[in-house]
Amino acid sequence: MTDHAIFHRPLGAAVPPGHDQAIFGMGCYWGVERLFWQQNGVWLTEVGFAGGTVQNPTYDQVKRGDTGHAEVVRIIYDSSLISYDHLLQLFWENHDPTQGNRQGNDIGSQYRSLIMVFNDSQRAAAEASRTDYGNRLAVNGHGAITTEIIEAAPFWPAHEAHQQYLHKNPDGYCGLKGTGVEASIPNPDPT
């Protein structure tokens, strides 16, 4: 099994005790993964695909839009160091959740805005933050949020060359861009 290029832990690792996981889709996954691996308290990041109908899809299948999957990042984090609310704040502020099946020039359902939840607590936090951020966007002249919030589905890792891509290719493509509207999250850190 391949190790994470930054954390030197095995990709596909199980969630260790005292840790939680999150899955977010925010467009092209390269920049999204870098955003999260830079956060204190994040233990592992991994890019892949989720939310579709094909088992173990390839990048080319997902890129063509044949599978229903979104490009996502799986995040394992130490919840004593970084809260799920803080991860949600990063999610909302670093992409445009109003664009439907696209992010900027990346067009297709594989680039949709997506939150996969693992429990009722995550669902409640995600839904409350979506409502709050939607109101903030409306006040600032943006359209309605199109972000899906769904139960966690199987995560299919992307091939090794795409893992930590922007660490291996510092000048690589990153389409990550927010709306400029700040999110107000009730408990950004678990203090």
Select which of 28, 32, 50, 137 is catalytic. Answer: 28
Q: Distance between CA atoms of 184 and 57, rounded to whole angstroms?
A: 36
Q: Does the annotation mark 174 as catalytic?
A: no
Closest CA to 98 of 44, 136, 50: 136
Q: Which residues are catalytic?
A: 28
